[in-house]
Structure 1
């Protein structure tokens, strides 16, 4: 499968998306955990998660109805994009 450069370009065009995807590549986390780990506000993390979910790069690992304790993880497509970003040294 050839790399999806559109997806890679989408992720790296935002520092917030890059940081959030990179953090989730390390393992599942809540928005608050991600915010603490990458030193962003929870609002920025939530926006990044929403846009990454729309591209099927991250997924919600708990039921959609849950409002507290929402845990997110990286999808296979997200993992592939992150590996390419790392291999080509495209993250800041």
Structure 2
């Protein structure tokens, strides 16, 4: 059975996203589509290393997930329900680091 994160846990993860421009942009990019890291890098203008670290950090916290974990190339990532909830909450606060 899945455990739903508490509101405090969600706000802690929102803080985790907000302190990293790379995490925020990577998560925002995955909001609408499933992408490979190279596609995320091109869309966000982040370096592949920045995207890789952001994905790794968010995957550990179950904010994103890899759809084909066994692939050595062409891994595809998507937001989890938690990731979508974080984006929705950030949108509600008017947060935009690019302003």
TM range (shorter): over 0.9
- Report which of the two structures shows the higher radius of gyration computed on alpha carbons: 2
Q: How far 1:26 sits from its partner (Å)?
A: 1.6
Task: Report if the CA contact (8 A) 1:18-1:91 is conserved.
Answer: no
State how far apart, in whole Å, the 1-side matches of 2:43 and 2:96 are: 16
Q: Which fold has the larger relative contact order, with Cα–Cα distance below 8 Å and residues 6 or more apart in sequence? A: 1
- Quick check: 1:79 aligned with 2:84? yes
State how far apart, in whole Å, the 1-side matches of 2:79 and 2:43 are: 16
Report what 1:24 is aligned to. Answer: 30
State how far apart, in whole Å, the 2-side matches of 1:58 and 1:91 are: 20
Report what 1:88 is aligned to. Answer: 93
Unaligned runs of 5+ in 1: none
Root-mean-square deviation (Å): 1.2
TM-score, normalised to structure 2, is 0.87
State how far apart, in whole Å, the 2-side matches of 1:17 and 1:33 are: 15
Paired residues, number: 91
Q: How far 1:65 sits from its partner (Å)?
A: 2.3
TM-score, normalised to structure 1, is 0.93
